[in-house]
Amino acid sequence: MVSEDILLQTLSKKVLVATKEKKSLAQCSDEQLEVSGSIVAGAFMHGLEDEFHEVRKAACHSLGTLTILSSKFAGEALNLLMDVLNDDSMLVRLQAFETMHQMATFGHLKVQEKHMHMFLGTLVDRNTLTRSAARKVLKLAKLPDLKLFRSTIDTLLDNLEMCPQDEADILNVLFHIGRNHGKFVVRIIEEVSQQMEPVSNGKLGFDNVRVGALLVLAISAPLSQERDCSIPPSIFSYAVTYLGRISHALSDIIHQEGLLNYLSQCSRSSGPYDMEFDFSAKRGGTSEILSPTVKKPREAGNSLVEYSLDVQDEVTKSMNVVLEKVKDIWPFVQAGFTTEGLRTLRSCREELATLTSGSIASGGSFAFTMQYIKIMKLLAKAWVNFVPSRHLPSSGMGDLDFVLGKLDARLSELKSTFIGLSKVEELHILELVLVTCMLKLSKVEICCHLGTLRKLSCTMAHAESLLEDGTVEPSRFMIEVRKLLSEIGTSLNGSSCNPVLFRRVLESFFLERLVLCGGLKHIKADLDIPDNDYEHPLCFVAGLPVGIPCHITLHNVSVESRLWLKMTANGIDDTHFVSLDSNLFGGCDDHRIVVFTAPFYKTPKAFSFTVSVCICMEYLSEDEDVSFLKRCGPRHELASLCREKEVFLSMVK
Amino acid sequence: MAIDSLVLGAGQEVGKSCVIVTINGKRIMFDCGMHMGHLDHRRYPDFSLIGPNFNQTLTCIIITHFHLDHIGALPYFTEVCGYSGPIYMTYPTKALAPLMLEDYRKVMVERRGEEEQFTSEHIVECMKKVIPVDLKQTVQVDKDLQIRAYYAGHVLGAAMFYAKVGDAAMVYTGDYNMTPDRHLGAAQIDRLSLDLVITESTYATTIRDSKYAREREFLRAVHTCVAGGGKVLIPSFALGRAQELCILLEDYWERMNLKVPIYFSAGLTRQANMYYKMLISWTSQKIKETYSTHNAFDFKNVHKFERSMIDAPGPCVLFATPGMISGGFSLEVFKHWAPSEKNLVTMPGYCVAGTIGHKLMSGKPTKIDLDKDTRIDVRCQIHQLTFSPHTDAKGIMDLVKFLSPKHVILVHGEKPRMATLKGRIQSELGIQCYDPANNETVSVPSTHYATAVASDAFVQSCSNPNFKFSTSGSEHEQGSSSSNRKSIPRLQVSDDRVAEGILVMEKNKKAKVVHQDELLVMLEEKKHQVKFAYCCPAHIGNLQENQETESTGLPLSSTNNDMLQLLSAKLTNELSEVNIQDFGDHLQVESFRVSICSKEDCPYRLSDNGGEEHYEPMFFCCSWAMEDEKLAWKVISMCQK
């Protein structure tokens, strides 16, 4: 690890005094890698000014990693990063935002006045991605004085007027900023409260979005950790009339009822507020959102925020950080920047790969996240074919068919091999299944129309049952699917369906952020065939059964589940199933071991052959595949619990 | 062999760049510029120093880029002075140079009413002699001289030139920029083996800030001004800066969705934009990548400016020439816009003294007297641009370090700063550096490779393997646990081939490398060997006493052979590592040879000064060769004991 001085030196072309002295010091301590100031001088500056945007982007990215180490370095780096927001490549600009967001996450983002012109400029940028990236950073930013706060709020309001489509996001940002800067909010509200009063005829000027935005700002103040943030109670009453819009904007934070509760409580008292913001209304729902990862210790002490920190499990926390990033690919994918999205996923994968140490990698959430990323990759690849206004990629339809099939299989696997999925998590997966079905249906070229339609309605039914108790709001997409299904009716007359209908519904899909609550368990198995490899095959006599000794370890498999050993003789394409009796297994529930000799009957007349062996679990699926019923063996769909294992056999001489 | 560099211009100053370099008999003129600050004979380089007949003495002229301080004197030199040899420059330079020269001529003659130094026809004729070159294209000027151009950034078409004659090679950088800007890339060059680099040193001591900071300040100033309803005047040179700023503004306008119009004053700039559009391959990576979809020089928001629009209401941004508000359209607009505090004037980084630009930059005047009758109230804001297409001190150091030539000559800079940089190059990089003044000549030695023939025996000796065997047993493995495991020392074979030979250079013959055995034959000489000899006295008593103490039980005897054996035994005892051979009458250890000396007057005997002897001393006569001197003295000291 290099010293902070060396880090700082990389940001300045001038050789700093500190590193000049350091050089002699470093020579004394023998083992240390000797880095002299003049060699690293301005390394990042050169990187950020490079002619190739790939280099500039990489420089921004690595800055992000290093800013975690030192806040002083982060401060200096921010000076450069803010200027990068003026780079001529959008990819570089977005990466700069990403880096800033990372800095903010670790509490190293110290915005100064000289930065503001450039930064606020991006809030009114023409590009949607830029605006939303800037707002994402703003949610976490800590502004040092009222002047900056005021200009930030003003620019956000300008943004709102210019781009009404950003309304929900802007209100959300205002709420976050307000919570971070309670005192400033009070000051601002005092100044503008006149504008917010009802006009003479008794009607509130609420069609004015500006007022709405200020209301959101105002109601966030009591949640600030700064005490004595008193807001006139009447404001809360005004906000109630605006409930729909606000709760829509804050849907990731609080449920509508919770918000109403909160508003009415606040409007009754004139502060100081001691009431709890009733997040519990959305508990178990998407409400872990106050980004557990983001509000790190610096906000500890505030009971309200800590509340959202109930994800105590470190692994799950870090997985959530990764999942947060996964969500961000969606705008790219939707806009047709698939490569960009895939690149992000790849970096997520790489990030996960670095977490292989010990318990993390073996944890259920890790496996889940890994799977999830794979699914996202497939989804992104499939989605390219549905992006409007772009020519179809050169790959043929068969390719899409393949991708969708794989996506389908992966999703069922995800659904069935994890236990302890929360309702929200399960709904998220179901939604993805629905998307896959819709994707299939919206392409006429893909066959199995009826089957897919059946699967669609089954999945929807499953989702409906989860939604039944009303604790979780269905997404817009689900509502659309529900409508569509009722339109099609129960006739299931596939031929009458128009792909355009499905496609329209797909447009309403938006990838929500998936937040893991922890407690996930991955159902898996380890299969080992001892002393068998290419050089040491098992012996058999053609036509007679052969026993294959299997050492099996089961993880998290319940006693009730029906397990099968699937054996396929390679090249002959003949599959056998052998049932595994769970009672055979010793040990406790989450870790059971057995040695089992599996019989393989139809040994071919061959000198030698291989058998692929795999442990599978039967699970109940929405659409039961009747084709399985024809012979003995599993009746439902199977999910494989381990990788296929090759067994080598050769004839007895 | 030497490379002589005669600095005719830009020595310890900026302006009229011109260096005459003589390499192995070839004379190249790098750049042929004029000085903008002088109007007398100092305006041009002193061509008389080249010699009487330019066409005979100069092999070629190389022009790095189209700026007047690098090309301004070219038409004068070719048409008036009569040079008619080849002239090399890049394609864009050839395209844009006539524009520059013509513009300059017009300003000189039509505005200032001076006597013209060259006519339009001269420019046309001069350009006919130009041979355009492409980047990285090696041009064979004549049998011996090769030149090659490398991308230099700085302005469109700027190049660094590499020249090679025989084994001597050099690079003349011209002006260059190591950081890319909005429309040009960074300088690029191969790692070459060079005797000399002549580099510019405009920013010999300055280390510049990030380019982003410059852009940010500029955009902020302009945006604030137009947001407040003001007009922005950007007096600018037609080529280069105008395009860069315009790309910057265009991009910003696009992103911020601004609708304020940007204008170009008609004339040179629009014409120049056309050239830029055509010369895309010489621009930056970004522009090259995107030009198939959108040519960056197709400015969407830029319109043509009419004189009538000067007093039109509303904000706008205007690019106008000339850059230093020394007259022309930018002055006209300035007169109208300066009195309003809402407006903004941006100033280029450098203005010649005496221009309005210079007055505005040096302090903030409130009134400027244009002439006797006209006085302008200056209330507008002034923003000074810090854009510069020159590399900074770190860039120069980086380039010199990268090329690692044997010598560096600094030109195109200010004297005191160049001295500082010269010191740094010498102390930090250990490269000899010079900063000659105008009309001085610097002479540096050049490389000359001599070819040598290798003799067969030498070649054979080189290909002979030179095996070395060594055993390596890892010591720690033989620890406590290795009782049952025998450690087998591993045999390591190394084959470090060493070619040893002797370089022989005979008169009128090619140099030859021979094996050492061949040398004597070749020179018809005998081998001489130097030997040392010493007749060493030894006291028998000593030896005998030793003998007794070691109690080997040998009978005492004073025969010579016994004495030798005695010595042999003793030597074996003491020097275990050497091989002692006994030949009866003498012992041989390596080249050391010892025998009992019976002669009374041995020539190698020193006079024995130990007068009080109890015994008759014995004498060992020793001789040895040079390489065993240490061993010899060891044995002798033992004999003496």
Helices A256-268 and A209-220, packing angle to 10 deg: 70
Pairing outcome for strands B441-445 and B262-265 = unpaired
Q: What is the pLDDT of residue A485?
A: 81
Q: What is the pLDDT of residue B541?
A: 54
- Is A153 in the same domain as A299? yes
Helices A128-140 and A113-123, packing angle to 10 deg: 140
Q: Tell me which of 1.10.10.10, 3.40.50.300, 3.40.30.10, 3.40.50.10890 is the CATH number of domain B211-384.
A: 3.40.50.10890
User: C-alpha angle A237/A239/A244, rounded to 5°?
Assistant: 125
Contacts 24+ apart (CB under 8 A), A395-398: A397/A443, A397/A445, A397/A446
| Confidence band, pLDDT 50/70/90 cuts, at residue A204 | low
Strands, E assignment, A495-543 = 521-522, 524-528, 538-540
Domain boundary among A480, A507, A534: A507
Three-class SS of residue B620?
strand
Q: What is the pLDDT of residue A624?
A: 52
Taking the C-alpha atoms of residue A383 and residue A392, their distance in angstroms, rounded to an integer, is: 11
A120 found inside a domain: no
Domain ranges, ordered by start, for chain B: 2-207+389-445, 211-384, 450-468+495-526, 531-640
Provide φ and ψ at B581, rounded to 5°: -105, 135
> What is the number of other CB atoms lying within 10 angstroms of the CB of residue B299?
17
> What is the number of other CB atoms lying within 10 angstroms of the CB of residue B192?
17
Distances (CA, A) of A238 to A154, A177, A216, A267, A496: 21, 20, 10, 9, 49
- Is A357 in the same domain as A421? yes
Provide φ and ψ at A164, rounded to 5°: -60, -25
Pairing outcome for strands B344-347 and B381-384 = parallel
Distances (CA, A) of A162 to A125, A158, A208, A246: 10, 6, 13, 19
Three-class SS of residue A565?
strand
Considering only CB atoms, which chain B residues are within 8 Å of A127? 255
Q: How does the average pLDDT of chain B come out, rounded?
A: 82
> What is the number of other CB atoms lying within 10 angstroms of the CB of residue A419?
16
- Is A433 in the same domain as A567? no
- Is A329 in the same domain as A435? yes
Tell me if B2-207+389-445 shares its fold with B211-384: no
Considering only CB atoms, which chain A residues are within 8 Å of B213? 83
Taking the C-alpha atoms of residue A289 and residue A515, their distance in angstroms, rounded to an integer, is: 7
Nearest chain B CA: its distance from A308 CA (Å): 37
Inter-chain CB pairs, A–B, below 8 Å? 66
In the 8-state DSSP scheme, what is residue A165?
A: G
Pairing outcome for strands B316-320 and B302-305 = unpaired
Taking the C-alpha atoms of residue A12 and residue A38, their distance in angstroms, rounded to an integer, is: 10
A75 found inside a domain: no
Nearest CA to A220 out of A106, A304, A306 is that of A304
Topology of domain B2-207+389-445, per CATH? Metallo-beta-lactamase; Chain A (3.60.15)
| Confidence band, pLDDT 50/70/90 cuts, at residue B125 | very high
Distances (CA, A) of B402 to A15, B95, B189, B194, B429: 19, 31, 9, 11, 10
Residue-wise pLDDT tens digits, A453-511: 788 888 888 888 888 877 777 888 888 888 888 877 655 554 556 777 777 788 788 88
Q: What is the pLDDT of residue A324?
A: 81
Q: Residue B194's beta-bridge partner residues?
A: none
User: What percent of chain A is modeled with pLDDT above 90?
Assistant: 3
- Is A305 in the same domain as A319? no
- Is A281 in the same domain as A335? no
Q: What is the 3-state secondary structure (H, E, C) of B447-486?
A: CCCCCEEECHHHHHHHHCCCEEEEEECCHHHHCHHHHCCC
Whether A35 shows a pLDDT value over 70: the answer reads no
Three-class SS of residue B375?
strand
Q: Tell me, rounded to whole angstroms, the distance of Cα A494 from its chain centroid.
A: 34
Q: What is the pLDDT of residue A199?
A: 59
Nearest chain B CA: its distance from A639 CA (Å): 48
- Which of A55-64, A482-491, A520-529, B7-16 is least confident? A482-491
Give, rounded to a whole angstrom, the gap between the first and last alpha carbons of chain B.
62
Considering only CB atoms, which chain B residues are within 8 Å of A121? 223, 255-256
Q: What is the pLDDT of residue B267?
A: 65
Better-predicted residue by pLDDT, B476 or A435: A435
> What is the number of other CB atoms lying within 10 angstroms of the CB of residue B182?
22
Three-class SS of residue A499?
helix
Q: What is the pLDDT of residue B22?
A: 94
| Confidence band, pLDDT 50/70/90 cuts, at residue B399 | very high
Taking the C-alpha atoms of residue A419 and residue A307, their distance in angstroms, rounded to an integer, is: 25
Three-class SS of residue A514?
coil
- Is A418 in the same domain as A541? no
| Confidence band, pLDDT 50/70/90 cuts, at residue A623 | low
Whether B71 shows a pLDDT value over 80: the answer reads yes
| Confidence band, pLDDT 50/70/90 cuts, at residue A227 | low
The residue of chain B with its CA nearest to that of A41 is: B394
- Which of A271-275, A471-475, A648-652, B246-250 is least confident? A271-275
- Which of A345-359, A423-437, B251-265 is least confident? A345-359
User: What percent of chain B is modeled with pLDDT above 90?
Assistant: 30
- Is A459 in the same domain as A528? no
Element holding B130 (H helix, E strand): strand B130-133
Residue-wise pLDDT tens digits, A403-446: 888 888 888 888 888 887 888 888 888 888 888 888 888 776 65
A567 found inside a domain: yes
Taking the C-alpha atoms of residue B356 and residue B365, their distance in angstroms, rounded to an integer, is: 10
Mean pLDDT of all residues in A144-167: 86
Better-predicted residue by pLDDT, A626 or B391: B391
Whether B116 shows a pLDDT value over 50: the answer reads yes
The whole domain housing A183 covers 142-310
A119 found inside a domain: no
Question: Which residues are CB-contacts of B290 (< 8 A; sequence separation ≥ 6)?
Answer: B296
Residue-wise pLDDT tens digits, B438-461: 999 999 998 888 788 888 878 877
Better-predicted residue by pLDDT, A9 or A293: A9
Question: Tell me, what amino acid is at B215?
Answer: E
Q: What is the pLDDT of residue A97?
A: 92
Contact A80, B278 (CB under 8 A): no
- Which of A432-436, B350-354, B359-363 is least confident? B350-354
- Is A499 in the same domain as A543? no
Question: Tell me, what amino acid is at A613?
Answer: V
Mean pLDDT of all residues in A61-82: 87
Domain boundary among A280, A310, A340: A310
A28 found inside a domain: no
Most confident of A328-342, B46-60, B131-145: B131-145
| DSSP state string for B51-100 | -S-HHHH--EEE---S-HHHHTTHHIIIIIS---S-EEEEHHHHHHHHHH
- Which of A65-69, B193-197, B521-525, B536-540 is least confident? B536-540
Mean pLDDT of all residues in B190-202: 93
Nearest chain A CA: its distance from B90 CA (Å): 22
Taking the C-alpha atoms of residue B571 and residue B556, their distance in angstroms, rounded to an integer, is: 18
Q: What is the pLDDT of residue A493?
A: 54
Mean pLDDT of all residues in A20-37: 50
Residue whose token pair is 């026993």? A547
Element holding A252 (H helix, E strand): none
The B-side interface with A (CB below 8 A) comprises 179-180, 182, 185-186, 207-208, 210-213, 215-216, 219-220, 223, 251-252, 254-257, 284-286, 392, 394, 428
Mean pLDDT of all residues in A368-381: 87
Taking the C-alpha atoms of residue B57 and residue B27, their distance in angstroms, rounded to an integer, is: 7
H-assigned helices in B66-210? 68-71, 74-75, 91-106, 120-128
Taking the C-alpha atoms of residue B464 and residue B458, their distance in angstroms, rounded to an integer, is: 10
Domain boundary among A440, A474, A507: A507
Whether B40 shows a pLDDT value over 50: the answer reads yes
**Of B256, B286, B428, Cβ closest to residue A121:** B256
The residue of chain B with its CA nearest to that of A118 is: B216
Domain count, chain A: 3
Two structure tokens written together for B590: 């390596």
Q: What is the pLDDT of residue B556?
A: 42
Taking the C-alpha atoms of residue B344 and residue B317, their distance in angstroms, rounded to an integer, is: 9
Question: Tell me, what amino acid is at A49?
Answer: E
- Is A462 in the same domain as A576? no
Which CATH number fits the domain that encloses residue A630?
Answer: 2.20.130.20
Two structure tokens written together for A252: 């990731």
Considering only CB atoms, which chain A residues are within 8 Å of B257? 124, 126, 162
Taking the C-alpha atoms of residue A340 and residue B293, their distance in angstroms, rounded to an integer, is: 20
Taking the C-alpha atoms of residue A427 and residue A522, their distance in angstroms, rounded to an integer, is: 18
Contact A118, A83 (CB under 8 A): yes
Contact A548, A538 (CB under 8 A): yes
Q: What is the pLDDT of residue A279?
A: 47
- Is A294 in the same domain as A334? no
B256·A49 Cβ contact <8 A: no
Using a CB–CB cutoff of 8 Å, tell me whether A583 touches chain B: no
A117·B220 Cβ contact <8 A: yes
Whether A135 shows a pLDDT value over 80: the answer reads yes
| Confidence band, pLDDT 50/70/90 cuts, at residue B409 | very high
Q: Which of A51, A97, A163 to mutate to test the interface with B (most CBs of B within 10 A)?
A: A51
- Is A433 in the same domain as A555? no
| Segment 100-139 of chain A within 8 Å of chain B by CB | 117-118, 121, 124-127, 130
Considering only CB atoms, which chain A residues are within 8 Å of B212? 48-49, 80, 83-84, 86-87
Considering only CB atoms, which chain B residues are within 8 Å of A89? 286
Q: CA-CA-CA-CA torsion for A396, A400, A405, A408, nearest 10 degrees?
A: 180
A530 found inside a domain: yes
Taking the C-alpha atoms of residue A636 and residue A472, their distance in angstroms, rounded to an integer, is: 30
Mean pLDDT of all residues in A306-317: 53
Mean pLDDT of all residues in B600-604: 72
In the 8-state DSSP scheme, what is residue B256?
A: H
Strands, E assignment, B201-358 = 231-235, 262-265, 302-305, 316-320, 344-347
Distances (CA, A) of A540 to A329, A574, A597: 53, 17, 14
Whether A273 shows a pLDDT value over 70: the answer reads no
Residue whose token pair is 């930018």? B330
Assign 3-state DSSP to chain A and report helix, strand, coil percentages, each to 5.
55, 10, 35
Contact A67, A74 (CB under 8 A): yes
Predicted complex ipTM exceeds 0.90: no
